[in-house]
Chains A and B, each alone.
Chain A
Amino acid sequence: MAERPVGVTDVASGAGVAQFRTRERTVAAEVVSEQYLIGLRDRVPSYRGMVSTFRTPGSAAVNTALMSLFNLSGSGVLVAVRASRMQADRTVNSSTARWSGTSLITTAPTDGTVLTPVGFDSAGSHSASVVARGLASADGTNGTFTPTATVTGWRGAGLRIPDATTMGHYQYPDILMLPRTARDDPVVLREGEGLLLSFIDSWPTSSHFLAALAFEEYLP
């Protein structure tokens, strides 16, 4: 590979002449013009939003669903999930390892509490066919949420503190429930697909969780 200036006729400014913005500098003994370009994303979102659960107590049962985001059939949009995280607070010590996971589901959840996303820009238009749901109906109050997890695609460790004298919450980085790369290369939910965050193991009901998702809706 080599520098290869391409010469183009530079028309003097005036009526009927459009001018590209460039900066001029010397590279490899040649005076060249480097063009400014406005980078646009390939995805043009019709809506960009974030949604958080209420504070959700742990469940003594295994495989308890915590939060879902589902793109219903007929929505007409694709959903790009760009971030998914959890936070935990434990008021009781534990010596048992416990995990949570994210899976792809193809059956729309029908129970739980519908969560209202908040837009990144009030000019966006949220599709009512993209539905977030959670286990908790209010801070500290769980309802019934029964979607079934499938193969776990990403796992997060839960906070636990084995020493009875140091139980409590230590602030730490978010538990990521999707790869960090989803920020640039998101998980795409097509119609009839969703993501489910769930507790793989049982948790003391004295545990508390917050989960959140950031996503975009865009036209195919």
Chain B
Amino acid sequence: MAERPVGVTDQASGAGIAQVRTRERTVAAEVVSEQYVIPITEYLDGFMLSYRGMVATFRTPGLASGNHNLFTIFNKTGSTKIVAVRRLVLQVEDTGVLLTVAPIVQTSRITTLPTSGTVLTPVTCDTALTHDTNVECMGAASADGTASGPIVSTAGTRAWAGFKMRMATQVGQVLFPDETLIPELCGDTPILLRALEGLQVQMVQASVTTAHYVICCLFDELAAV
């Protein structure tokens, strides 16, 4: 590859003339103009942002039953939007002791609409944007510390997983970074949920009931241009 200056006629400023902003410098003995541009983030060709929201569960108590669901986000059938999940994190607080191996918390893809949990209301990142009600988030608590009816949803193949925090004798909270439930690179390379697709967060094994969880999710809704 070689430098290849492209010459264009430079019109004098005045009526009917637009001036493209550039900076001028010499590269490979040629005086060239490098254009200033405004990059637009596009996660998906042909779609643009229609909504950006964040949603948090209530403080959700652990359950002694295995495979209990903590959170879902689902793009319902008929939706014209594509949901881009950019951040999905878990925080844990535990007031009890657990000496055995920690439960796994995992994220998987689902294709059936979850039921019976508590529908959560997203908070917009910009009030000029409009949330599509076809995009539904659910938690397993109806208020802080109050478990609701469990989210009825069957997990798919494990996509990303981590261990829940546990402590052997020093009960209490240890301050720690968020547990990321999807790859961190999803911040700029999100997971896309088309109509009739969702993500589910599940505690795979039984958990101590002294544990409490909060799941937070940042997502975009993308509309076809």
Q: Do A and B come from one complex?
A: yes
Decide if B166 is an interface residue (CB 8 Å cutoff): yes
Q: How large is the interface on B (under 10, 10 to 19, 20 to 34, 35 or more residues)?
A: 35 or more
Decide if B96 is an interface residue (CB 8 Å cutoff): no
Decide if B39 is an interface residue (CB 8 Å cutoff): yes
Q: Contacts of B156 on A, CB cut-off 8 Å? A: 118
Assembled-state Cα–Cα distance A36/B167 (Å): 52
Q: Please name the residue on chain A nearest to B168 by beta carbon.
A: A168
* Interface-central residue, B18, B42, B162, B186, by most chain A CB under 10 Å: B18
Assembled-state Cα–Cα distance A32/B38 (Å): 13
B8 and A83 within 8 A (CB): no
Checking B12, B20, B170, B186 against A33 with a beta-carbon cut-off of 8 angstroms, the contacting residue is: B20
Q: Which of A4-60 contact B (CB under 8 A)?
A: 4-10, 22-23, 27, 30-40, 48, 50-52, 54-55
A71 CB → nearest B CB, Å: 19
B35 and A35 within 8 A (CB): yes
B66 CB → nearest A CB, Å: 11
A27 CB → nearest B CB, Å: 6
B99 and A22 within 8 A (CB): no
Q: Which of B168-204 contact A (CB under 8 A)?
A: 168-170, 174, 176-177, 179-180, 182-186, 189-192, 194, 197, 204
Assembled-state Cα–Cα distance A125/B167 (Å): 42
Stretch at the interface among B56-64, B101-109, B121-129, B137-145: B101-109
Q: Contacts of A2 on B, CB cut-off 8 Å? A: 23-24
B174 and A171 within 8 A (CB): yes
Known: A50-B182, A169-B102. A31 touches B39 (CB 8 A): no
Q: Please name the residue on chain A nearest to B177 by beta carbon.
A: A173
Q: Which of B35-61 contact A (CB under 8 A)?
A: 35-42, 45
Checking A55, A87, A121, A166 against B191 with a beta-carbon cut-off of 8 angstroms, the contacting residue is: A121
B15 CB → nearest A CB, Å: 9
Stretch at the interface among A99-107, A147-155, A188-196, A208-216: A208-216
A27 and B21 within 8 A (CB): yes
* Interface-central residue, B35, B159, B186, by most chain A CB under 10 Å: B159
Q: Contacts of A32 on B, CB cut-off 8 Å? A: 19-21
Assembled-state Cα–Cα distance A7/B19 (Å): 4
Assembled-state Cα–Cα distance A34/B11 (Å): 17
Decide if B165 is an interface residue (CB 8 Å cutoff): yes
Q: Contacts of B189 on A, CB cut-off 8 Å? A: 48, 82, 120
Checking A50, A89, A173 against B159 with a beta-carbon cut-off of 8 angstroms, the contacting residue is: A50
B168 and A167 within 8 A (CB): yes
B168 and A36 within 8 A (CB): no
Assembled-state Cα–Cα distance A208/B179 (Å): 17
Q: Contacts of A88 on B, CB cut-off 8 Å? A: 163
Q: Please name the residue on chain B nearest to A183 by beta carbon.
A: B185
Decide if A202 is an interface residue (CB 8 Å cutoff): no
B24 and A35 within 8 A (CB): no
Decide if A139 is an interface residue (CB 8 Å cutoff): yes
B19 and A30 within 8 A (CB): yes
Q: Contacts of B41 on A, CB cut-off 8 Å? A: 39
Decide if B17 is an interface residue (CB 8 Å cutoff): yes
B87 CB → nearest A CB, Å: 14
B207 CB → nearest A CB, Å: 13
Q: Please name the residue on chain B nearest to A57 by beta carbon.
A: B101
Decide if B70 is an interface residue (CB 8 Å cutoff): no
Q: Which of A109-139 contact B (CB under 8 A)?
A: 116, 118-123, 139
B22 and A4 within 8 A (CB): yes
Checking A1, A35, A37 against B20 with a beta-carbon cut-off of 8 angstroms, the contacting residue is: A35
Known: A5-B19, A7-B12, A30-B19. A166 touches B40 (CB 8 A): no
9 CB contacts below 8 A, A to B, read A1-B23, A31-B13, A31-B19, A36-B37, A87-B163, A170-B167, A171-B163, A171-B177, A210-B163
Question: Which 4 pairs of residues, A with B, have the shortest CB-CB distance?
Answer: A4-B24, A171-B165, A168-B168, A118-B159
Other A-B contacts than A7-B10, A171-B164, 6 sampled, CB-CB below 8 A, are: A6-B10, A10-B17, A32-B19, A169-B163, A171-B177, A214-B183
